Copies of this chain bind each other. A is one copy, B any other.
């Protein structure tokens, strides 16, 4: 039993070791130019070993998304379930969470997009795909609830909550991607934050129902 367990833990450590290496390499080179050899070197393992833990390159890449989605999910659940917060406060908290997600892994967005490509999906094992779908659904659902609650209380505009949730995510993605592609990130990290800030401010203002004074 103890041995079984230790083995299990050892195995998990290996997975993490690979994931960390993969994150670095994919970050540096992007999916296409990153090679399995690069990742193996970074992880100080042999290429063959990677295939003991991940079915293929796509699935290794996908697993990076799972990690970040898990993190996001925890945050969303906390915020969504916080009874002491009003919808607009929850929205602010969500925005803050998004910042953190981005800091945790700036590749998030690119990962997420890559993941959706039908070619990619073909190469994933069902269980990995299911986990991703499940996590995505939960996250979107959690955010939706905030918008629904806000609409119900007359604080936010009345729109289909899932559509709003998508829009929120799309907005966030857009700014990050745009900034990234303009190579602003490395040179002027603040510019991205500022842009994200402006963006979220606009979003916040845009969905608020103005209280008449």
Contact = CB atoms under 8 A, between A and B. Distances in A.
Scoring A181, A212, A213 by chain B CB atoms within 10 A of each residue's CB, the highest score goes to: A181
Interface string A133-176: 00000000000000000000000010100011011011111110
Interface of A: 30, 32-33, 112-113, 115-119, 157, 159, 163-164, 166-167, 169-175, 177-179, 181-183, 194-195, 198-199, 201-207, 210, 212-213
A202 to B, nearest CB: 3
A10 B166 CA distance: 46
A116 B180 CA distance: 9
Q: Is the interface of A mostly helix, strand, loop or mixed?
A: helix
Contacts of A173: 174, 177-178
Given A113-B178, A117-B181, 5 more contacts: A30-B117, A157-B201, A157-B202, A177-B177, A205-B205
Nearest to A201: B206
Contacts of A119: 30, 33
A116 B170 contact: no
A181 B33 contact: no
B181 A175 contact: no
30 contacts: A117-B181, A157-B201, A159-B198, A163-B195, A166-B179, A167-B199, A167-B202, A169-B174, A170-B174, A170-B178, A171-B171, A171-B174, A171-B175, A171-B199, A172-B174, A173-B178, A174-B174, A174-B178, A201-B206, A202-B202, A202-B206, A202-B207, A203-B206, A204-B206, A205-B205, A205-B207, A206-B206, A206-B207, A210-B210, A212-B213
A166 B112 CA distance: 22
